[in-house]
């Protein structure tokens, strides 16, 4: 079955260029020329990925992303003409899975689309991917994060990052290792991406339990620290 991609972009030339290359690559593409129609299109069909411009008429990309995240965990790649770190970090903090700055190489964008969808699609193995700790359940089969008995909204990339760290408790991973394993070797971003996602996870998990924590190992990276009767903090 064809994967469905929603492109929310007001520049007709860019939108049609994206349609051309995505359809050539086998995707079913829907174009929305403004933020309002982007939400309407998103709510009218099941999409596998959204390419979302920031500077949009009617409703900007931040507003569209907020609405998408209120009802779905579908992967979102932000498209922006701005290259400032602020815009990139803002998108990641709001739940975007990746960003790309205009003008961009079409091959690079297609590679990112495949990388994000590959990571979001997860494993085809029949093995269940569920981890349980004190007051914490990470269920990758249903993409559910249960914190102290309450389902907490977390975008796919946050779930993948937490699952990756928690799968090997107390093991330290460098930022580059995390980028390779969670985002994929063909990811074009930098290590700041990892820091942003760790920050968002901590905001959701802080103070829940004294038996585990997402820890920073200064100068190296991060680990999911688990404490029991035989281990020291």
Tokens 């100068």 locate to: 219
- Return the CATH class of domain 130-226: mainly alpha
The pLDDT of residue 229 is 43
The pLDDT of residue 109 is 85
Rounded Cα gap, residues 5 and 109, in angstroms = 13
**Residue 18, number of CB atoms within 10 A of its CB:** 24
Rounded Cα gap, residues 141 and 152, in angstroms = 15
Torsion of CA 207, 213, 216, 222, to 10 degrees: -140
The answer to whether 116 touches 75, Cβ cutoff 8 Å, is yes
Mean pLDDT along residues 99-111:
83
Identical fold for domains 4-121 and 130-226, yes or no, is no
Region of residue 122 (left: phi > 0; alpha: psi -120 to 50; beta: else):
left
56 has a pLDDT exceeding 80: yes
Q: What is the CATH number of domain 4-121?
A: 3.40.50.2300
Q: Would you state the structure tokens that stand for residue 191, as one six-digit string?
A: 């290590």
Domain spans in the chain, listed from the N-terminal domain onward: 4-121, 130-226
pTM over 0.85: no
How many whole angstroms from its chain centre is CA 168?
Answer: 21
Mean pLDDT along residues 57-81:
90
Percent of the chain with pLDDT over 70: 87
User: What's the pLDDT tens digit per position in 184-206?
Assistant: 755 556 678 899 999 999 999 99
The pLDDT of residue 128 is 59
End-to-end CA distance of the chain: 49
59 has a pLDDT exceeding 50: yes
122 has a pLDDT exceeding 70: no
Mean pLDDT along residues 207-229:
90
């Amino acid at each position: 079955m064809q994967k469905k991609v929603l492109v929310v972009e007001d520049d007709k030339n860019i939108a049609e260029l994206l349609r051309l290359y995505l359809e050539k690559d086998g995707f079913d593409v829907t174009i929305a020329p403004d933020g309002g129609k982007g939400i309407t299109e998103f709510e009218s069909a099941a999409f596998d990925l959204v390419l979302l411009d920031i500077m949009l008429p009617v409703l900007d990309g931040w507003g569209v992303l907020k609405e998408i995240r209120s009802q779905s965990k579908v992967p979102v790649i932000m498209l922006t003409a701005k290259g400032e770190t602020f815009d990139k970090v803002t998108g990641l903090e709001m739940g975007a899975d990746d960003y790309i700055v205009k003008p961009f190489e079409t091959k690079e964008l297609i590679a990112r689309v495949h990388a994000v969808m590959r990571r979001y699609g997860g494993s085809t193995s029949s093995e269940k991917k569920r981890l349980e700790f004190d007051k914490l359940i990470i269920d990758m089969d249903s993409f559910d994060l249960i914190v102290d008995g309450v389902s907490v909204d977390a975008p796919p990339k946050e779930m993948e990052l937490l699952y990756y760290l928690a799968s090997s408790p107390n093991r330290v991973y460098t930022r580059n290792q995390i980028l390779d394993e969670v985002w994929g070797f063909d990811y074009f971003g930098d290590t700041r991406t990892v820091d942003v996602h760790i920050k968002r996870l901590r905001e959701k998990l802080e103070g829940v339990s004294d038996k585990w924590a997402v820890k920073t190992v200064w100068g190296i990276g991060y680990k999911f620290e688990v404490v029991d009767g035989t281990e020291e903090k």
